[in-house]
Amino acid sequence: MCGVFGVYGHPEAAKLTYLGLHALQHRGQESAGVVSSDGGRLYARRAMGLVHDAFSSEDLRGLPGALAIGHVRYSTAGGSFLKNAQPLAVDYSRGSIAVAHNGNLTNAEELRDLLEARGSIFQSNSDTEVIIHLLAMSKQKALEDRIADALTEVKGSYSLVFLSEQALVAVRDPNAIRPLVLGKLPGSAFPNVVASEPVAFDLIDAEVVREVLPGEMIVIDKNGLHSSSPLPPGPRRSCVFEYVYFARPDSKISGATVYEVRKNLGRILAEEQPADCDIVVPVPDSGVAAAMGFAERAGVPFELGLTRSPYVGRTFIEPEQSIRHFGVRLKLNTVGDTLRGKRVALIDDTIVRGTTSRKIVKLVRNAGAKEVHMRISSPPFRWPCYYGIDTPTRGELVASSHTTEEIGRHITADSLGYLSIDGMVDAVTRSPGFDGKRGEFCHACFSGEYSIDITAPSKSRQLPLLLV
Amino acid sequence: MCGVFGVYGHPEAAKLTYLGLHALQHRGQESAGVVSSDGGRLYARRAMGLVHDAFSSEDLRGLPGALAIGHVRYSTAGGSFLKNAQPLAVDYSRGSIAVAHNGNLTNAEELRDLLEARGSIFQSNSDTEVIIHLLAMSKQKALEDRIADALTEVKGSYSLVFLSEQALVAVRDPNAIRPLVLGKLPGSAFPNVVASEPVAFDLIDAEVVREVLPGEMIVIDKNGLHSSSPLPPGPRRSCVFEYVYFARPDSKISGATVYEVRKNLGRILAEEQPADCDIVVPVPDSGVAAAMGFAERAGVPFELGLTRSPYVGRTFIEPEQSIRHFGVRLKLNTVGDTLRGKRVALIDDTIVRGTTSRKIVKLVRNAGAKEVHMRISSPPFRWPCYYGIDTPTRGELVASSHTTEEIGRHITADSLGYLSIDGMVDAVTRSPGFDGKRGEFCHACFSGEYSIDITAPSKSRQLPLLLV
Amino acid sequence: MCGVFGVYGHPEAAKLTYLGLHALQHRGQESAGVVSSDGGRLYARRAMGLVHDAFSSEDLRGLPGALAIGHVRYSTAGGSFLKNAQPLAVDYSRGSIAVAHNGNLTNAEELRDLLEARGSIFQSNSDTEVIIHLLAMSKQKALEDRIADALTEVKGSYSLVFLSEQALVAVRDPNAIRPLVLGKLPGSAFPNVVASEPVAFDLIDAEVVREVLPGEMIVIDKNGLHSSSPLPPGPRRSCVFEYVYFARPDSKISGATVYEVRKNLGRILAEEQPADCDIVVPVPDSGVAAAMGFAERAGVPFELGLTRSPYVGRTFIEPEQSIRHFGVRLKLNTVGDTLRGKRVALIDDTIVRGTTSRKIVKLVRNAGAKEVHMRISSPPFRWPCYYGIDTPTRGELVASSHTTEEIGRHITADSLGYLSIDGMVDAVTRSPGFDGKRGEFCHACFSGEYSIDITAPSKSRQLPLLLV
Amino acid sequence: MCGVFGVYGHPEAAKLTYLGLHALQHRGQESAGVVSSDGGRLYARRAMGLVHDAFSSEDLRGLPGALAIGHVRYSTAGGSFLKNAQPLAVDYSRGSIAVAHNGNLTNAEELRDLLEARGSIFQSNSDTEVIIHLLAMSKQKALEDRIADALTEVKGSYSLVFLSEQALVAVRDPNAIRPLVLGKLPGSAFPNVVASEPVAFDLIDAEVVREVLPGEMIVIDKNGLHSSSPLPPGPRRSCVFEYVYFARPDSKISGATVYEVRKNLGRILAEEQPADCDIVVPVPDSGVAAAMGFAERAGVPFELGLTRSPYVGRTFIEPEQSIRHFGVRLKLNTVGDTLRGKRVALIDDTIVRGTTSRKIVKLVRNAGAKEVHMRISSPPFRWPCYYGIDTPTRGELVASSHTTEEIGRHITADSLGYLSIDGMVDAVTRSPGFDGKRGEFCHACFSGEYSIDITAPSKSRQLPLLLV
């Protein structure tokens, strides 16, 4: 779960990248990085934390040139270290190259073993470093051919943005799993920005041109934009979870506004899993739009019965004498008497482990709710994602080993209902503006139908080197 | 605009204060401070920034004892310096004393001149330092008598929490302008926590006992709680703006939940200022509840057509080649096609200078809205507040020199409507649970009827000493 | 043990102060502060650490104006907190005032009790705050008269530099215990800089004019320099320890260069306490000059048999499995075979507790020295200093309860010899350039003859308020 | 100019390394790094700044295991970035490997071009990364064979310490240009520490065993110590500049204590280049020992007429209105009247560009010296070093294009004298304990006789990638 951005041909390329990354901040808060080029060499800066904190004016002045790419990275379980921050940037035989990657390679470990056997050395545990090595070893001359060479060997999901001294290259995997969209700055003769989501364009006055196609490579340089398809386009399998949870509500994916899709998810959920309730209450912030749709379809009042603190950081100091619902209460609070005596339909987007849902249900009940009916605007989350979303193992996913009824009891809800896979897909395809097709989604995390043939996703070997 | 907190008789008093301040964080993000007592001496720490960042585990270990008070401070125009952070803590003839203050003294400058003429020295520009000086000069022996002596001399608004080596004292001004509420931790034989808003109790499992009364002084020490009324209770004039904007929606004031009051404000606004519209859209986050009420009463769909970034820091680096709506877009974005072709009723809580409203209206129109009808869930904001809310001067308040029609034109709205003062007060008094009286509000910022007789609020002299 | 600096009438007053403080850095490494005035108001910055680290270019730009004073503070046992950093700066009835103090008031506690009884509040534990309170309470109009009023009440040692909006004032106590010297910047029509030591002038191209006299007050403002003697000059009792240890070797005090005095101390020590030795080795850095004098007079080779690490910070992380001589070895190391088989005269300036000397003697012996004869270039250190040098209590001073023979045994030296008080005074008075008189020194730490009649130096009360 | 350290088989290996690096701090203050192994994996931490500041207790706890290596790095002109900090640590086919390097490869660029042509990617501009790539590409199985393979290809100087999961390996180049010494911790059955200088052993109670031999490889693992000579030992050419300037005076190299050698340099200088003078004054700190030898041989008093500030950081803020001798005076000051009226022999270790010497001579003359005779305890510095000492280009070395007489005029000295190459070598070989041979030194920087056949040392290509 990351965000990427690239711009070509703007005198303040690094600043635009910084702003684009700010708009993509929800895709990753652990680290941020920008690499720029002045036509002759690359300049790089990566830092931990939010984009806003990671770059000072002086930092941006140190990133000159009219080309730049950037990356925001999500915090993953494995530990958060600067060496894993992107874009990666190295020197190789043809000069310098930088890359920002959203996605996950499923054969990274095999490739890494092969590369090491040929003498390669690795400085990070990122699968992205594999791509760079393959690119450097290609016998091709042209950058685009080297990239194509490298990507022919990798499997998995990738929305990639490369930067050389003189060109910007964007590539999307043949299944188009992770999003990537092309835009144009005002005054540019050709499209010259790429980003994970179109919200990155809104902030910098760029307009959306189109999505990057499955298996497409776009090269932007002094000759303008050149599109090619060096990789055989597979069947499109775009991640449906972007609609459910991950993308910003104001983003459009395949023509459909995420906010509208989420309301649809709620409407269909109300039809599939009705609840005898007095009010519909979302778990903020991600459940709000679905709850609005649910309430509308159910004809029951929508109430903001839970508030979410905007000030929650990563860790909080807890008193030794423990406090009830401490963890969840730092983030959520119930609103006065809004819930008292009510039968509440509580709307959330997913249940992962079940522990948080259990705490929230208790919190709502403590606030006086008579009944709590949990409704989830997606199907049971049963399978890990191998394509770039950081999910727990199967063992930790409560829905992979428990029935809906069992989960309902565990979280102490009076009833629990999930949306069906069909309902979820309907919610997307029936949204205004949607221009894709019904079968074009990856919903492996719900269905187990992995888009890419993976015999057995290689297990991450224990990280041999730990930078502290 | 600040938040105060105090606790007596808990082995982890500083940690509870830290958590209470976190719950009050919306009342001030500039600085945070905690002073604790172990019965023998005081321990203090103040720092710039959010509570979460200002205190490490080690910092909290350095604040031992069973008594503590805390303060969060809002960023004011005058400059943000650590020396203005609270609680203030000093030594005087009877030992040590610390104080946290929410409010504003209207005769601070006169008193400061008097005190300096008697030889006092001042180390901050805070009016709170005046209270400490008066207290130190009192001829009384007992702390509560010294405090009463001091407060007899001051005018203005104050919700104060004092800490001595062995006692916690809370006082509210005779007009009860700023909020202050009393609570009880589980297991305590008597009420032993005070806070600006009851949400601070939610987080630490304390229950609300009652509000501190106008002019009441509450002393909590080893003898338990002792209430007295050393100050003649004036007519109650609690700040109505707490409901409109300042308090958290999940807080209760005078029995009424802020969220419910805001929905009422929206409902009455829909009656007083109807709009011919297709959708009702709030300016997030503060306009959301009012927009829900407006939509319900108007029978028009409620839509989240604007999103708000949770990642906005204080300053952002802008490209030199400027971007349209740059400032407002860092914070707000329009949602896909939700607004396209629509007649939009846009709901906000206040218009201060008009510049932001103008930008938002343009943003909404750029997103395709056919008409934009601005509706404000409070009356025109015409007068500065002298009682603790940091407002611009009259000259900067657009409503003090322009008619509603002029403001509407200025912000380029198709129409503009404000709630009436009566409507606003009705919204509060008709809210479920409200246990106060109609005439008990200060609405000077809307009406110019200042609760306290102020001939001419003394002008702040230019700060003579600037700590950098 | 602190350093003070002041400058009047230079467009970059704060920068000169910053440089002056750098030259005085040896007088205090704990904190540094500068207060400047632009003629209308004061600007202040204080920070922990070295001058070089405490002030950025931006910090100095925030300190505008042509007048400035500064202070460096020594780390004292009581704890190192920013609130104790100087200059102190406050507002009072006549405007703003800042003060930097080197010295110690012996009746600070009594005065503080009196002031608090009159209603004063204290924000630090510094005796300097007492002076500010007295000044603020004076009935006089003119600043110099207020300062005189205040100083009439205090006892002890003080070299003070005050800054008001428009004037710089320097005062030295009637006994002239701590140093204070007057200088002139090139191009100035009158003397316009003051500093604890003349080395502060060297760096900024200023020339030494003369020392500030006992009890003298110097006011520098737009009318030039005005000297007065508002305090009855007592008998001069300048601290002899400045020569022995504290001042920089390149400083001149009373006409005598400290380096030359230290060589003299060594010469007379060689006469009074000869040692049968092959080489003379100093404990670096402070024993070097004395060892040179000792070697010259004894006719024995001078050898740098011990080196001192320039990289020693305050605390070092020690392995759990402890290392011999760990603490002293981080700082000192023996030089190869230089000491092997030799009878060594080891020269140091003082023995305080004896623990470090013991470690050094062992280190030297481990390096192969056949005999170690410790010679100290000052008399036994028996009495605490009440005049501004941070010394241990009598109980901790090994010489206050042990004979020289006992100390010698304790530190495992083959012999130990101290300089006599007469010898020490001779070393100063016979130095080239010395223009003072024999009887003008305070050597209370050696003799117990306290310069100022102190019945019983008031004990510091336990600090009531601790800022963390 | 760097320092390396390694330890095997101590439960607190990282802490010992931290202490060892502290003792080697004079060899590099820009960055510090430690890599440890717990037998199964490596742990690494690198940071900018001094060892003391770069490592907290917590950092050291994050470096577990009984094996560790460390590195301190000198600030070089090219820019100081963390990515150039060492030890370098990577993963390759056989596991993980880390390396710390003191020295410089003269064919790094050629090798890098070859490696990149084979597909290698580079993440730093360090020549050390070349060694790691060669090692990773070796077809050998055993680590020592891979290292030997790699080193067969490189030319130049290197004292290397490698760390794998289970072994410590130390290698010195066939000419033994940079120092490397073997030691033994108390209680160890075999030698188990290596360091650039023996002073690193003093601090941790280890004893010196012997120097690592030209071309020797030492492997220390669970089988104890194993020495081999995989590289043909060339003629020994140890850097004579370590004696002149770089090493610590308390270090021993080839049996001779550096301090004793420096006194010898001064003695022979006095014979070769006598001066008609009243006093001999060193430029501190590096000229002190030579000045002592000079004074002794010349029969003229030795005087510390210049002091050096221990508080000088990298950059200082200068007033706009410039100050005479500003830069040099921040560091050096003259001592009172010591120099007044005197004919001064001023002793320094080298003249590089001549600018600093010129400033010092003027400073001395301003302090009243009648004549200034500059004497340098090494020959004219005419040639750049390609073996690990960071020297300016030939064009910047004043002695490569000017006669001694011209330089003397340039620095405004009354006379200037350099030591001869023979005199310098004599000073070393005649020092007590020296156990090497006359012809075994590299003095290319003085003579141009480069120890290793270098046709034309490859020019550093412009760094393509800049990390900011």
Q: Establish if B201 touches chain A: CB-CB under 8 angstroms.
A: no
Same domain, A276 and A183: no
pLDDT of residue B75: 62
Q: Average of pLDDT values for D92-102?
A: 95
pLDDT for res A369: 97
- Which subunits count as partners of chain D given 3+ CB pairs below 8 Å? A, C
Are A218 and A266 in a shared domain? no
Nearest CA in chain A to D462: A41
A vs B contact (3+ beta-carbon pairs below 8 A): yes
Do A and D make contact via 3 or more CB pairs under 8 A? The reply is yes
- State the smallest CA–CA distance between residue D461 and chain A in angstroms: 11
Q: Is residue D103 part of a domain?
A: yes
Residue A131 lies in a domain: yes
A103 and A170 part of one domain: yes
Does the pLDDT value for residue A197 go beyond 70? yes
Question: B74 — contact with chain A (CB < 8 Å)?
Answer: no
The chains found to touch B (3+ Cβ pairs under 8 angstroms) are A, C
For chain B positions 129-188, those within 8 Å of chain A (CB to CB) are none
Q: What is the pLDDT of residue A125?
A: 79
pLDDT at A451: 74
Question: Which residues on B lie below 8 Å from A321 (Cβ)?
Answer: 11-12
Q: Which residues, listed in sequence order, are joined to residue B442 by a DSSP beta bridge?
A: B239
By C-alpha distance, the chain B residue nearest C467 is B44
Condensed to tens digits (0 to 9), the pLDDT of residues C216-268 reads 999 999 999 999 999 988 899 999 999 999 999 999 999 999 999 999 999 99
- Are both C175 and C323 inside the same structural domain? no
Cross-chain residue pair B307–A53, CB shorter than 8 Å: no
Contact yes or no for C333 and D203 at CB 8 A:
yes
Kindly state the tokens that stand for A373: 């009916």
Question: Among the listed ranges A442-451, B82-91, B339-348, which one has the minimum average pLDDT value?
Answer: B82-91
Tally the domains of chain C: 2
Which of these ranges, A302-311, C455-464, D267-276, D312-321, has the smallest mean pLDDT? C455-464
Is the Cβ pair A466, D44 closer than 8 Å? yes
Which residues of chain C neighbour D50 with C-beta distances below 8 Å? 311, 313
Look at residue C465 in the predicted model and tell me its pLDDT. Answer: 55
Average pLDDT over residues A413-438: 97
For residue B5, give Cα distances in angstroms to A315, B183, B216, C357. 22, 11, 17, 53
- Chain D touched by A117 (CB under 8 Å): yes
**What's the confidence (pLDDT) of residue B328?**
85
Instruction: Specify if C468 maps to a domain.
Output: no
Q: Which two tokens stand for residue A436?
A: 């894709």
**The pLDDT of residue D345:** 98
- The alpha carbon dihedral of B99, B102, B105, B109 has a sign of positive
**A341-365 pLDDT, tens digit each:** 999 999 999 999 999 999 999 999 9
Smallest Cα distance from D460 to chain A, Å? 14
Q: Which residues, at least 6 apart from C234, have a Cβ–Cβ distance to it below 8 Å?
A: C173, C174, C175, C214, C215, C451, C452
The pLDDT of residue C411 is: 97
Q: Is the CB of residue D346 less than 8 Å from the CB of residue D361?
A: yes
Confirm whether D454 is domain-assigned: no
A199 vs B333: CB contact, 8 Å cut-off?
A: yes
Distance from CA of B118 to the nearest CA of C (A): 6
Same domain as B406, residue B306: yes
Provide the pLDDT for residue B334: 95
Vertex B453, ends B447 and B456: CA angle to 5°?
85
| Residue D463 in domain | no
Indicate whether B275 and B134 sit together in one domain: no
A456 touches chain D (CB under 8 A): no
CATH of the domain at B121: 3.60.20.10
Q: Is the pLDDT of residue B81 over 80?
A: no
Q: Kindly write down the DSSP assignment for every residue of C191-214, as one continuous string.
A: --EEESSTHHHHHTT-EEEEEPPT
D366 touches chain C (CB under 8 A): no
* Contact state of B116 with C468 under an 8 Å Cβ cutoff: no
In chain D, whose CA is at the least distance from the CA of A116? Answer: D93
Chains D and C contact (Cβ–Cβ under 8 Å for 3 or more pairs):
yes
- Name every chain B residue with its beta carbon within 8 A of the beta carbon of C92: 116, 119-122
Asked if C touches A (at least 3 Cβ pairs < 8 angstroms), the answer reads no
- Could C120 and B92 be called an inter-chain contact, meaning their C-beta atoms sit closer than 8 Å? yes
Smallest CA–CA distance, residue D52 to chain C, in Å, is: 7
Q: At B458, is the pLDDT very low, low, confident or very high (cuts 50, 70, 90)?
A: very low
Nearest to A465 among D89, D136, D465 (CB): D89
Q: In terms of CA atoms, which chain C residue is nearest residue B44?
A: C467
Domain shared by B283 and B134, yes or no: no
Among B440, B439, B393, B431, which residue's Cα sits nearest to residue B179? Answer: B440
Clarify whether residues A228 and A262 are in a common domain: no
Is the pLDDT reported for residue A207 higher than 70?
A: yes
**Same structural domain, A195 and A274:** no
When CB atoms are compared, the residue of C41, C123, C464 closest to B42 is: C464
CB distance C326 to C318 below 8 Å? yes
D77 at the A interface (CB within 8 A)?
no
Q: Please report residues of A whose CB lies closer than 8 A to that of D123.
A: 90-91, 123
DSSP assignment of A317-335, as one string? PPPSS--TTHHHHHHEEE-
**Within-domain flag for A458:** no
Residues of chain A with C-beta less than 8 angstroms from the C-beta of D464: 41-42, 91, 95-96, 165
Whether D96 sits inside 8 A of A466 (CB atoms) is no
Model confidence at B457, pLDDT cuts 50, 70, 90, reads: very low
User: Closest to D96 (Cβ–Cβ): which among A89, A465, A468?
Assistant: A465
B208 shares contact with chain C (CB less than 8 Å)? no
Q: How far is C417 from chain D (nearest CA, A)?
A: 25
pLDDT at B78 over 50: no
Residues A285-307 have a mean pLDDT of 96
Q: A430 and A355: one domain?
A: yes
D269: CATH: 3.40.50.2020
The pLDDT confidence band at residue D460, using thresholds 50, 70 and 90, is very low
Q: Is C62 in the same domain as C141?
A: yes
Confidence check: pLDDT of B151 > 80: yes
| Domain end point (choices C201, C218, C234) | C234
Residue B30, CB-side half-sphere exposure with 13 Å CA sphere: 17
- Establish whether D442 is a catalytic residue: no
Q: Which domain holds residue A367?
A: 258-440
Q: Chain A residue with minimal CA distance to B255? A: A336
> Omega before A149 cis (within 30°)?
no
- Comparing alpha-carbon positions, the chain A residue that sits nearest to D136 is A119
Judged by a CB distance cut-off of 8 A, whether residue A422 touches chain B is no
Q: Are residues B210 and B350 in the same domain?
A: no
Are B311 and A22 an interchain contact pair (Cβ–Cβ within 8 Å)?
yes
Q: Does B121 touch chain A (CB under 8 A)?
A: no
Residue C244 belongs to a domain: no
Q: Is C405 on the interface with B (CB under 8 A)?
A: no
pLDDT at C458 over 90: no
Q: Identify which of B12, B57, B432 has the shortest CB distance to residue A337.
A: B432
CB nearest to D42's CB, from A117, A136, A464: A464
pLDDT of residue B286: 85
**Interaxial angle between packed helices B288-298 and B258-272, expressed in degrees from 0 to 180 and rounded to the nearest 10:** 50
The rounded mean pLDDT for chain D is 91
**Looking at the predicted structure, is the pLDDT value of residue B53 above 90?**
no
The pTM score is 0.89
> CB distance from C317 to chain D under 8 Å?
yes
CB-based contact D90 A123, cutoff 8 Å: yes
Judge: A309–B15 Cβ closer than 8 Å, yes or no: no
Cα–Cα distance, C399 to D231 (Å, whole number): 62
| pLDDT at res. D119 | 93
Please, are residues B366 and B395 in contact by the beta-carbon 8 Å criterion? Answer: no
Who has greater pLDDT, C284 or C311? C284
The shortest C-alpha distance from C133 to chain D (Å) reads 35
Closest CA to B466 of B83, B45, B47, B127: B83
Per-residue pLDDT of B210-221, as tens digits, reads 999 999 999 999
Query: Does the beta-carbon distance from D133 to A122 stay under 8 Å?
Result: no
Would C240 be classed as within a structural domain? Answer: no
C-alpha to C-alpha distance for C174 and C151, rounded to whole angstroms:
10
Is residue A47 less than 8 Å (CB to CB) from chain D? no
Chains that touch C (3 or more CB pairs under 8 A): B, D
C-beta atoms of B41 and C96 within 8 A: no
A81 interface with D at CB cutoff 8 Å: no
β-bridge pairing D415-418 and D441-442: unpaired
In C40-188, where does DSSP find H-type helix?
Answer: 51-54, 57-61, 108-117, 128-137, 143-153
What DSSP letter does each residue of C167-191 carry, written as one string?
-EEEEE-TT--S--EEEE-TT-SS-
pLDDT band, residue D316 (cuts 50/70/90): low
